[in-house]
Chain A
Amino acid sequence: MVFNVTNCGLNVGSIDVIGISSAALFLIGDADTIQLSSAFDTPPESLIIGALVPFVPQG
C-alpha cells in the first residue's frame, strides 16, 4: 500500500482540555505509528453489597 499525504498549513487558535487520563496521548506533531489499547471492567457483579471484606488478605 502506498499512502501519499500533502500537509498544507495547520494553524490552530486555542485548545481547551479538561482531562487527559488512563494512558491517553495528546500529541501536537507528527507520528509514525500509534497503537492504543484500553480495557475497562465494571461488571454488575462488581457492586458488592455486604460486609466490607479486604480484597487480598494481608500476609
Chain B
Amino acid sequence: MFSRISKIENLSIKTLIFSSTLQIGDSSCIESYADVFAVQRQVPVYLGKEAEVLPYRIFSSPAVFLPIVEPVTTFFINSQPFIDVRSINIIGVSASSVVSAGNTGHAYMQSRVKHIRQLLNGRRAIKNGPDSTSIQTNGSQPS
C-alpha cells in the first residue's frame, strides 16, 4: 500500500487532554468523535450534572459527510522513501483530536460544538448595551 516512512527528529507536545491521541507508527483506521457543550455564565454557578443528556438537535442529527462514491484507482510513485520533518512543536491537543506520525488507511473525524452564554438580567449585567430587559430570550432552551 504505502511505502513512505515518516522521520521526525524532534516532537514536542505540551498538553494532550480530553481523549486526544498521539499515535506513533502506522495505523489502519482512525475514528474520532467529539461532542462539546460549552456554557459560559456571568455568575460561575455550575450544578455539575445538568448536561448528562444533551437535548439539542445538533447532537442527534446525522453527521454531514461527503460520501466516497466514485471509485478512484490510485497509483503512487514514491521516489524518496522518507517524509522528513526536523521539528514539530505543539502546545495543545484537545477534544478527541489525533496527532499521528505514520501512515493510516482510513481517517474519520467528527465534531459537534454547541455554545451557550448565560447573562444575568438588568442594566448592570451588560454595560453600554441596550436595556437588557428588552432582549429577553429563551430560544435555545430545550423544548
| A positions within 8 Å CB-CB of B | 1-56, 58
Given A1-B71, A30-B4: A52 and B83 interface contact (C-beta under 8 Å): no
CB pairs A–B below 8 angstroms (23 shown):
A3-B73, A8-B80, A15-B87, A16-B89, A17-B90, A20-B97, A21-B94, A22-B113, A23-B110, A25-B30, A25-B98, A29-B2, A29-B6, A29-B83, A29-B104, A33-B106, A34-B106, A35-B108, A36-B109, A43-B140, A49-B125, A55-B51, A55-B55
Is the CB–CB distance between B34 and A22 below 8 Å?
Answer: yes
Segment 76-123 of B: residues with Cβ below 8 Å from A: 76-80, 82-121
The answer to whether A8 and B79 have CB atoms under 8 Å apart is yes
B63 touches A37 (CB 8 A): yes
Mostly, the A contact residues are strand
Q: Are A23 and B91 in contact (CB under 8 A)?
A: no
Distance between Cα atoms of A50 and B121 in the complex (Å): 5
Residue of B nearest to A13 (CB): B86
Quick check: is B128 within 8 A (CB to CB) of the other chain? no
